[in-house]
Chain A
Amino acid sequence: MDVVTQRPLRLALVGNPNCGKTALFNALTGTRQKVANYPGVTVERRAGRVTGHHLDAEIEVIDLPGTYSLRAHSADEEVTRDVVTGRFEAEAPPDGVICVVDATNLRRHLRFVLELKGLGLPVVVALNMIDLAERDGLDIDVDRLSHLLDVPVVPTSALRRRGLDMLIGTVETTLAKPPVAEPSDGTRTSASASPGDAAPSRRDLRALQAEAKRIAAQAIRAEGREHALTRRLDAVLLHPVAGPVILTVLLFLVFQAVFSWAEAPMNWIDGGIVALQGLIARTLPAGALNDVLVDGVLAGVGSVVIFLPQILILFTFILLLEMTGYMVRAAFLMDRLMAGVGLNGRAFIPLLSSFACAIPGIMAARTIDHPRDRLTTILIAPLMTCSARLPVYALIIAAFIPDRQLGGLANLQGVVMFGLYLAGVVSALVIAFILKLTLSRGQAQPLIMELPKYQIPSLTTLAIGLLERAKIFLARAGKVILVVSIVLWGLASFPGPPPGATEPAIFYSIAGWIGRGLEVVLAPIGFDWQIATALVPGMAAREVVVGALGTVYAMSGEVTEASLAGTLRSAWSLPTALSFLAWYVFAPQCISTMAVIRRETNSARMPLFVAAYMFALAYLAAFITYRVSSAFLGA
Chain B
Amino acid sequence: MRNGDAAQRLGSLQPRMCGRVVGLTGADPCTDGGDPVTERLRELGFEEGASFEVLHQGPVWGDPMAVRVDSVTVALRRREANSVIVNLTVETDAVQVGAVEAG
Contact = CB atoms under 8 A, between A and B. Distances in A.
Contacts, number: 116
Interface string B32-43: 101011011111
A118 to B, nearest CB: 16
B98 to A, nearest CB: 7
Interface in B22-36: 31-32, 34, 36
A452 B43 CA distance: 15
A125 to B, nearest CB: 18
Given A234-B56, A447-B77, A448-B74, A336 B63 contact: yes
A594 B98 CA distance: 51
A240 interface: yes
B42 A209 contact: yes
Contacts of B42: 205-206, 209
Interface string A442-467: 00101111111000000000000000
Contact of A332 (B43, B66, B68): B66
Contact of B39 (A71, A235, A240, A451): A71
Interface string A58-90: 000000000011010100000000000000000
B72 A105 contact: yes
Contacts of B79: 444, 446
A105 B71 contact: yes
B3 to A, nearest CB: 21
Contact of B44 (A68, A333, A345): A68
A241 interface: yes
Contacts of B77: 335, 339, 444, 446-447
Query: Residue among B56, B60, B76, B80 with the most chain A CB within 10 A?
Result: B56
A203 B32 contact: yes
A231 interface: yes
Interface residues of A, number: 43
Contact of A238 (B44, B56, B60): B56
Interface string B51-83: 000011111111110101011111111011000
A161 to B, nearest CB: 25
A73 B34 contact: no
B60 A336 contact: yes
Contacts of A230: 73
A203 B42 CA distance: 12
Nearest to A370: B36
Contacts of A336: 58-61, 63-64
B95 to A, nearest CB: 11
B6 interface: no
Contacts of B80: 446-448
A450 B67 CA distance: 10
12 contacts: A68-B43, A69-B43, A71-B39, A108-B43, A108-B44, A202-B32, A205-B42, A226-B71, A335-B77, A339-B63, A446-B76, A447-B64
Interface of B: 31-32, 34, 36-37, 39-45, 47, 55-64, 66, 68, 70-77, 79-80, 98, 101-102
Interface of A: 68-69, 71, 73, 104-105, 107-108, 202-203, 205-206, 209, 225-226, 230-231, 234-235, 238-241, 243-244, 328, 331-333, 335-337, 339, 345, 369, 444, 446-452
Given A238-B56, A447-B64, 9 more contacts: A68-B43, A105-B72, A108-B70, A205-B42, A226-B98, A231-B55, A336-B60, A448-B74, A450-B74
